[in-house]
A and B are shown apart, each in its own frame.
Chain A
Amino acid sequence: MSKKFKILCLLLLIAILSATVINLNTGFLSLNLNDFFGEAANSQIAEIRVNRVLVMLLAGISIPTSGFLMQEYFQNPLAGPDILGITSIASLSVAFYIFFSYNIDLPEFLQNSFLSLSSIAGSFVLMLLLLSMSKRFTDKSHLIIFGFLISAFAGAIVSLLQFYAENQSLKNYVLWSFGANNMVSRSQIYVLILLVLIGSFMSFKSIKPLIGNSLGTAYAQSLGVNLDHLKLFIIIASSLLSASVTAFLGPVLFIGIIVPHFCRLIYNPAKLWQQWGLNMLLGMLMMMLFSIIAEKTQIPLNVISSLFGIPVILTMLLKQNKV
């Protein structure tokens, strides 16, 4: 590990820690340290904030990693976690749930769980479909086209559902799609942690083959890279990482494309292990910051990430081009 990388990681960790502390302090009420430990009056709010922070951190680890894997595997700078259609199918599953459960009276706490469950179930089905189709697609770009078709299909069905939906369902769905869902319970977080761990492990397994794949498939084979395994790891990692977060937080799109680019601008893009680590650190930092801003301004997360992310990347790009 070069010195520059160690310093970079240290700075990011300090920034994440500071942002986390600020985030825990952000909200309608001002809390003090007692509220977080022990049974004080505002403990429940403290717990909600801790949950929020945990979800944001997990999202920061997952979504950029998923985007990073997609960009490296398909050698496409515009690829994002949604390129295989996972987020679209997750949205479709949620839409189905919202629009068809309108007449069913479910208690509040279950509602949220079923929502996430339907999202994960839908994404899981798609992941299995992708794994079985991937054997037939020897050309990588066909996989992208397949993902595009899935997204188009999902989008069409969602539009149809929205067209015929009741007003309240419509609003619920739209709010979900803004990424505004902050209310993730502690037990849901445990599920999320498990899925993110498995996804991260799969992404860990795919880094070395990705490095071997950088010269193309002919060279990859000659270096002993098992291309079928690589495809498997990439599909599972990307699906799990983006589907799990989408299920609990709604679609978080922008971060998945932008953070990997940001990481390439601040450190050698050829070093994939370092890029993998940086994506997680920078992802956590950005989600923390955006979450703080979203809390303060009460503007949905996806809107914040677009509004703030774009000018930041633009300035970095312009600075690079000057040199």
Chain B
Amino acid sequence: MYLQIKQADIGYDKTLISNADANLNLGEVCLLIGNNGVGKTTLIKSVLHQTPLLSGEISINHKNIKHLSVKEIAEHIAIVFSKSVIPQNHTVEDLISLGKYIYYPYYFELKKEDKKEVSEIIRELDLDQYKHTLLRNLSDGNLQKAFIGRALTQNSPIIILDEPTTHLDEKNKIIILKTLRKLAKQQNKLILFSSHDWRLAKEFADKIWYVKDQKLYSGMVEDILLQHEELVNPSLFEVNKNFVPPHIAAPDFYKEMLYSLLQKNFQKDLSPLHFELQDKIWVISHDSSEHQCESFEEIVNFIRTIY
């Protein structure tokens, strides 16, 4: 139980999460999920001891954070906030080097090994070409990667990231989550990150902390996702209610594409239709007659002529 929350009330003047009980071990990756404004960032700030708990206790390595100094907390936790002040004159290298801040009494200049480590992390995050670029000239995604790099360089046992993948494209999201999981498994770190993208997180996290209705539900990813359907409910994606899908015979991905195309465009019962993909041509059987379409646009036009 490296990180433990015991019967804690979390919030500012009013309670956002009441009677929270959860714990995480080193080597675990945990996803923190919940709607906007539900208290995720407040929870993170409470763990950092930047926001005081209204009641209860949070402990790191069996020590109550109330009794830890700011320096000791810094040695245990590296953080990536969702927003921050962008220093005017720092380059990517300057920012990532700041991860080593806590290891130097005066931080005059980095030692050779530390400089090497910074360069390696820059390379791992695919930021080599931006090494000497000013932060204010970076795209949002690269900036986010740079801040994550800073936390990685700090080498603390716990890494907490508040919405680390918001600005990242799919490829970079996966790079980051893979790196975090590798850190957890190979270097025995505790990773806690918040995200709205539960699907991607499902592949990379061991545990979930789900905040809903002022309560914190914690457990294994698969358990919590099954227990809380509202998180994964595909019906959220239904644009219209009167749609009944037709029968579709095609590989999974084509089937999914056709499904979303039809449900976006038609509020009808399409069950009398039968779609089959033959050699990249869609064959539509309708009323014992067949029609062939080559593109999705043709399909939409054809169905419009029928109905």
Min distance, Cβ B43 to any Cβ of chain A, angstroms: 15
Check A214 against B87 for contact (C-beta < 8 Å). Answer: yes
Check B48 against A221 for contact (C-beta < 8 Å). Answer: yes
User: A226 at interface (Cβ–Cβ under 8 A)?
Assistant: yes
Check B70 against A269 for contact (C-beta < 8 Å). Answer: no
| CA of A224 to CA of B76, assembled, Å | 11
Check A222 against B98 for contact (C-beta < 8 Å). Answer: no
Q: Which of A216, A226, A264 has the most CB of B within 10 A?
A: A216
Chain A residues with Cβ below 8 Å from B74 are 222-224
| CA of A194 to CA of B102, assembled, Å | 32
| CA of A270 to CA of B84, assembled, Å | 17
Number of cross-chain contacts by CB at 8 Å: 68
Mark contacts of B206-249 with chain A using CB atoms, 8 A cut-off: 1 yes-contact digit, 0 otherwise: 00000000000000000000000000000000000000000000
Mark contacts of B67-79 with chain A using CB atoms, 8 A cut-off: 1 yes-contact digit, 0 otherwise: 0011101110111
Min distance, Cβ B153 to any Cβ of chain A, angstroms: 12
| CA of A215 to CA of B106, assembled, Å | 17
User: A211 at interface (Cβ–Cβ under 8 A)?
Assistant: yes
Check A226 against B87 for contact (C-beta < 8 Å). Answer: no
Give which listed residue, A222, A270, A273, contacts B90 with CB less than 8 A: A270
User: A29 at interface (Cβ–Cβ under 8 A)?
Assistant: no
The main secondary structure of chain A at its interface with chain B is helix
B residues 41-83 near A (Cβ < 8 Å) are 45, 48, 50, 69-71, 73-75, 77-79, 81
Give which listed residue, A208, A225, A273, contacts B70 with CB less than 8 A: A225
Min distance, Cβ A42 to any Cβ of chain B, angstroms: 45
| CA of A272 to CA of B197, assembled, Å | 39
Check A215 against B79 for contact (C-beta < 8 Å). Answer: no
Min distance, Cβ B109 to any Cβ of chain A, angstroms: 7
- Using CB atoms, name the residue of chain A closest to B106: A208
Chain B residues with Cβ below 8 Å from A225 are 70
User: B257 at interface (Cβ–Cβ under 8 A)?
Assistant: no
Min distance, Cβ B75 to any Cβ of chain A, angstroms: 8
B residues 20-50 near A (Cβ < 8 Å) are 45, 48, 50
Q: A222-B77, A223-B102, A224-B102 are in contact. Are A215 and B50 (CB under 8 A)?
A: no
Q: A208-B107, A215-B87 are in contact. List 8 more A-B contacts (CB 8 A).
A: A214-B90, A219-B79, A219-B85, A222-B48, A222-B74, A223-B101, A224-B102, A270-B87
Residues in chain A within 8 A of chain B (CB atoms)? 1, 75, 207-208, 211-212, 214-216, 218-219, 221-226, 264, 268-270, 273
Residues in chain B within 8 A of chain A (CB atoms)? 45, 48, 50, 69-71, 73-75, 77-79, 81, 84-85, 87-91, 94-95, 98, 101-102, 105-109
5 pairs, CB–CB < 8 Å, chain A vs chain B: A208-B106, A214-B85, A216-B84, A222-B50, A270-B94
